[in-house]
């Protein structure tokens, strides 16, 4: 089961800001864990594991899903780390989140799973669907769907919509214009450490 249902702020205190997981901010300043483990010197393995966990929790992936995406990224020519981030960013649930049509990736995944989202005039109910350049995303023409998305749009989201996406908020339609660039990825992450983590397994 890939859905994390535990305390989200505890994860954010340990791993840092994860915009896809939650918008809440913890009042506690020390990291989660007994006896303030930040004082200890962390091993190379611990650093790689932490970067991998950031990816997993931010995008809401299981270990199996992340490993599958890494295998796909390794087969494509180019930097494996950047290609992995592009694959994860082009998922439909993440695209809905980056368009500010949902406050978090779990909320975006719920919109998709409940059939509120159409891609190229076809209902898509799988959050991991890979968006491609030229895809048109729109909301189901039902009052319940439109009201829900309008409520989400009014809440503050990420500062900027990435340059590969465009949205018409009046008609609730969006278009994917291309593949996301590395600098537009909202998560602070060293993707090379993630690739190193899996290369040693």
- What is the pLDDT, as a whole number, of residue 170? 83
Categorize the per-residue pLDDT at 119 as very low, low, confident or very high, splitting at 50, 70 and 90.
Answer: very high
Calculate mean pLDDT across residues 49-66: 89
Comparing 75 with 14, the larger pLDDT belongs to: 75
Query: How does DSSP assign 25-84, residue by residue?
Result: --S--SPSSTT-GGGSPPPHHHHHHHHHHHHHHHHT--HHHHHHHHHHHHHSSS-HHHHH
Comparing 10 with 34, the larger pLDDT belongs to: 10
Calculate mean pLDDT across residues 84-95: 92
Domains and CATH numbers, the chain: 8-85+185-199 (1.10.1050.10), 91-178 (3.10.290.10)
Question: Which residue, 103, 91, 105, is CA-closest to 137?
Answer: 91
Calculate mean pLDDT across residues 31-40: 58
Q: Is the pLDDT of residue 28 over 70?
A: no
Give, in degrees to the nearest 5, the angle at Cα 88 between 85 and 92.
145
The average confidence (pLDDT) of the chain is 83
- What is the pLDDT, as a whole number, of residue 171? 84
Give the tens place of pLDDT for each residue, 131-174. 999 999 998 888 888 888 888 887 766 667 888 888 888 888 89
Q: Is the pLDDT of residue 5 over 80?
A: no
Of the listed ranges 5-9, 26-30, 130-134, 139-143, the least confidently predicted one is 26-30
> What is the C-alpha to C-alpha distance for residues 1 and 9, in angstroms, rounded to an integer?
20
- What is the pLDDT, as a whole number, of residue 36? 55
Q: Is the pLDDT of residue 89 over 80?
A: yes
Categorize the per-residue pLDDT at 176 as very low, low, confident or very high, splitting at 50, 70 and 90.
Answer: very high
Q: Is the pLDDT of residue 1 over 60?
A: no
| pTM (predicted TM-score) | 0.84
- What is the pLDDT, as a whole number, of residue 127? 87
Give exposure, 158-186, as e/b (b: 16+ Cβ within 10 Å).
eeeebebbebeeeebebbbeeebeeeebb
């Amino acid at each position: 089961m890939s859905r994390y249902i535990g305390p989200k702020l505890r994860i954010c205190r340990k791993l840092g800001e994860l915009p896809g997981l939650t918008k809440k901010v913890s009042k506690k300043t020390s990291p989660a864990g007994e006896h303030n483990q930040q004082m200890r010197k962390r091993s190379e393995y611990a650093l790689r594991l932490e970067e991998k966990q950031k990816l997993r929790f931010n995008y809401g992936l299981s270990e199996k899903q992340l490993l599958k995406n890494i295998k796909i990224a390794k087969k494509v020519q180019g930097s494996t780390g950047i290609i992995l981030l592009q694959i994860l960013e082009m998922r439909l649930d993440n695209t809905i989140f980056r368009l500010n049509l949902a406050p978090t990736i779990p909320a975006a995944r719920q919109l998709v799973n409940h059939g509120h989202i159409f891609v190229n005039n076809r209902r898509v109910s799988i959050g991991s669907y890979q968006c491609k350049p030229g895809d048109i995303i729109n909301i189901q023409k039902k009052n319940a769907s439109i009201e829900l998305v309008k409520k989400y749009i009014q809440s503050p989201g990420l500062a900027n919509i990435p340059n590969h996406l465009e949205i018409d908020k009046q008609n609730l339609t969006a278009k994917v214009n291309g593949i996301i660039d590395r600098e537009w990825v909202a998560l602070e992450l060293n993707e090379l450490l993630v690739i190193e983590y899996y290369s040693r397994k």
